[in-house]
């Protein structure tokens, strides 16, 4: 099996379980705060399965950034694309957002902005670290 596929599956299996835990916590809070909050068995099952898949993809997708022979653009495209597809399908399947063009567009815009902010923050932190490490390296 391709080593990257193996790592994708490995990471996905390691962290996939966190999705249903998070959705369980959110549903727990909603049940306590909303007096008429209720879910059918199918809705719960769908939420568990879809958030497992979502967490699985999110964890596994980190491997795209480590495939050396891929260009940065290709890595980012696959990373962003897989996350976006996983998120949008999970939200639509669970009817957390309605399947309407304008809503999906707003969701996409928010997703792009958040992705860019998180990416920028991580990039900035790593850049600072690499600068400090290079200074130390030069001193040695």
Partner 1 sequence: MKCTIVIDPNKPEEVIVHVHKHTQLADEIRALCNQNDPYLIGYKDREACHLNIQDVLYFAVENNHVNAVTENDCFRVKSRLYELESRLPSAFVKIHQSCIANLKKVKCFSTSLAGSLQVIFVNGDTDFVSRRQVKHVKERLGL
Is there binding between residue 26 and partner 1 (CB under 8 A)?
no
- C-alpha dist (Å) from residue 44 to 32, 61, 123: 17, 25, 37
Q: Which of 50, 61, 49, 46 is nearest to 115 (CA)?
A: 61
- Closer of 99 and 123 to partner 1 (Cβ): 123
Is there binding between residue 6 and partner 1 (CB under 8 A)?
no
- Closer of 43 and 130 to partner 1 (Cβ): 130
Is there binding between residue 137 and partner 1 (CB under 8 A)?
yes
Q: Which of 43, 66, 100, 108 binds partner 1 (CB under 8 A)?
A: 66
């Amino acid at each position: 099996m391709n080593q990257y596929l193996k790592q994708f599956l490995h990471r996905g299996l390691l962290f996939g379980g966190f999705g249903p835990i998070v959705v369980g916590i959110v549903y727990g809070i909603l049940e306590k705060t909303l007096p008429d909050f209720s879910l059918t068995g199918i809705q719960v099952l769908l939420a568990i399965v879809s958030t497992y898949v979502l967490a699985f993809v999110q964890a596994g997708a980190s491997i795209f950034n480590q495939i050396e022979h891929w260009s940065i653009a290709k890595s980012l495209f696959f990373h962003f694309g897989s996350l976006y597809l996983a998120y949008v399908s999970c939200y639509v399947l669970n009817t957390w957002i309605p399947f309407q063009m304008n809503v999906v567009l707003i969701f996409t815009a928010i997703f792009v902005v958040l992705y860019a902010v998180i990416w920028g923050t991580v990039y900035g932190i790593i850049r600072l670290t690499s600068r400090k490490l290079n200074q130390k390296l030069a001193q040695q």
